[in-house]
Amino acid sequence: MTFRRFAGTVFLLSVIGVLLSGPVVAAETATVLEQSMSDTLDIWREGRYEQLFERLAHRGKTSREAFVKQMGSTTIRPACCWQKMENFKILNEKRTEATVYVKVGLEGSTSGNGSSTREFKLTHQEGVWKMQLADVYAIAGVTGKKGGGAKRHTKKASPYTN
């Protein structure tokens, strides 16, 4: 009887452990995703655009120099402290991709809207969860065009005209 009781107790504790480990793992993942996004927003707020560039995924053909120039020309920055991120929720998570929904507080917005509430895609690369370059551009109000906008074309005077 003692062995049966012991085996039953061990089995019951194992089942309870398995049931409790699911939410704990999910909570740990949420914390990692939230902390990674928070760290990226801090780097942006501090104006460390070269480091920010390295923390972004799906950069396409955008060069580091063009990115730094474009981000330096915008006045929009993530807010500080508790206003930086609110209502963080994981919508979808896979091994290397996650979609989160969060309200990002913003400062310097010309539209008067002090936040952006939307979905953000995160990609796990090089051991870090990275935000998408397009998402940062979107909330910063930066277009993805090189040079920050339309190019100006000027005509050169022809050497054959007076």
Query: What is the per-residue pLDDT for 84?
Result: 96
- The three state secondary structure string of the chain is CHHHHHHHHHHHHHHHHHHHHHHHHHHHHHHHHHHHHHHHHHHHHCCCHHHHHHCEECCCCCCHHHHHHHHHCCCCEECCHHHCEEEEEEEEECCCEEEEEEEEEEECCCCCCCEEEEEEEEEEECCEEEEEHHHHHHHHCCCCCHHHCCCCCCCCCCCCCC
Residue 152 lies in a domain: no
Pick out the chain residues at pLDDT < 70.
1, 3-29, 110-113, 144-162
Query: What is the per-residue pLDDT for 142?
Result: 87
Residue 14 lies in a domain: no
For the domain that residue 61 is a member of, what is the CATH number?
3.10.450.100
Residue 16 lies in a domain: no
Tally the domains of the chain: 1
Residue 67 lies in a domain: yes
| Structural domain that includes position 33 | 24-143
Residue 154 lies in a domain: no
Tell me if the pTM is above 0.95: no
